[in-house]
Chain A
Amino acid sequence: MRDVIIIGGGIIGSSIAWQLARRHQDVLVIEKKDTASGSAGATDGVVGYHTKKPGVQLDLAVQSIEMFRTLNEELGSDIEYGLEAGGMQPVEDEYQWNLLSQMAEEQRKSGVDIRMISAEEACAIEPNLNHDIYGALYSPTGGKVNPLAMTLAFARAAKKLGAEYAYNTEVTEILIEDGRAVGVRTFDRKNGAAEHRARFIVNAAGAWAGRVAALAGLDMPVRPRKGQLAVTEPIGPFLTATVQCARYNVIKFRPETIKDQTVLKLGQSLSIEQQETGGLIIGGTREFAEFEEENTFEAIEAMMKRALRFFPALKDVNIIRYFSGFRPYTPDGLSLLGEVRTLPGFIMAAGHEGDGIALSPITGKLIAELIVDGKPSYDISDFSPNRFL
């Protein structure tokens, strides 16, 4: 019998696997496809403070982003972390300015530097930004990362310390004995059906975590929320900060204030950042489409219009690929972290929606502590999955 089985070999599962392996736990990661084949391989790498929901989720992000500073060294590979890239949200009118000012005030309670700046100041920081804006929200700290490189680095570091990965392997059943989760039944094309047992089962299946929970007879409201993205050809230095239009936070935190139903349905906003390779990653949509992964012209046109509204100079830059990913949405915007009261041995570590990359380091650390020490070093009771029982 192993110590821990982790379902899901993505950024969350691999971060947990690495932290557990560091603490000499015998870990098996079961992954339906491949590391980073889900959400972490289909997203941008924004790890800023300003896009986090004020309150406990931002507090958790502050803890997590602190851990990024030493990750390159600890993981032994370059995750392309731009520590001081900063984050900016250009604002289009007084209404957005007031909303974001209120949110920034809430966010500052977590001890982060987030402020409102004038259009002139914003354009001085990002000269390619359209001068025709009302102002901007600015967070000088916070950065960006290569989420693919980071996920693979977690997995490699975990394997190096002895964690085992079973790829192309699907969990078909959660084994329950005397009311406790004791293992899983799996299936893969090469070996067929198999059974694995462990003291703890961790559900780190991201947008698929609701389905995995259902295998254990649990109704955990994690739903896929689709984000469509584009990547451009590599260009010279164009952007330092990660930029989201003000509407991004309005849609994320105050959707009830949006009147236009199309904007709401597509979650039509802009998020843009430049990767180390020179390519820009452009995204910002969020929609409920189950697991339908194709790109739609409706979203593409909306996304490109938003991008050119704020960065007109991009008009002649080529898009080389559109893609999409599924974020693990939860109804209250908070992650699910902790053991399920009604099923001892079964731990949820999912539901970070768009914050999964930023929150992956702290999630790994706290879940490992919960398993090894019986209690995490930071109170995660606000994230308990028991709130949905």
Chain B
Amino acid sequence: MQMSDELIICRCQEVTEQEIIDAISDGATTVDGVKRRTRACMGLCQGKTCGRLVQRLVAQQTGQKPEDVYLQKSRMPARPVKMGVFAGGDEDA
């Protein structure tokens, strides 16, 4: 059995289970709340891997059903996209 301070939940930002539990004790009641306190879900994958795990931890710690815990808001782009693509080729602005 791994200790919760060794178990990485968010691999992009290297956030451990213990850090997430601490964030929930600090008042986080949503995935966004954990995100702001720990940077979990803020990395390259934007929570695609850890979002559900964080949601489950929040549910466990606060005695809610996982589906009642808000996931982080999804935003553009769905995957990383180069700045040049968004600027649309011609670069006179």
Contacts and interface: CB of A to CB of B under 8 A. Distances in A.
Interface in A242-296: 277, 295
Interface in B4-51: 26-30, 32-33, 36-37, 39, 43-44, 46
B86 A319 contact: yes
B82 A34 contact: no
Contacts of A301: 86-88
For chain B, the bracket of interface size reads 20 to 34
A167 B46 CA distance: 25
B36 A37 contact: yes
A323 B93 contact: no
B30 A319 contact: no
A295 B73 CA distance: 12
Interface stretch (A118-126, A207-215, A308-316): A308-316
Nearest to A323: B75
B81 A308 contact: no
Nearest to A293: B73
A318 B46 CA distance: 13
B81 A318 contact: yes
A35 interface: yes
Contacts of A152: 26, 36-37
A241 interface: no
Contact of B83 (A34, A232, A323): A232
A135 interface: no
A372 to B, nearest CB: 26
A326 B46 CA distance: 22
Nearest to A277: B39
Contacts of A316: 82-84
A148 interface: yes
A233 B27 contact: no
14 contacts: A34-B27, A152-B37, A165-B27, A295-B75, A295-B76, A304-B84, A304-B87, A304-B88, A317-B82, A319-B80, A319-B82, A321-B75, A321-B77, A322-B75
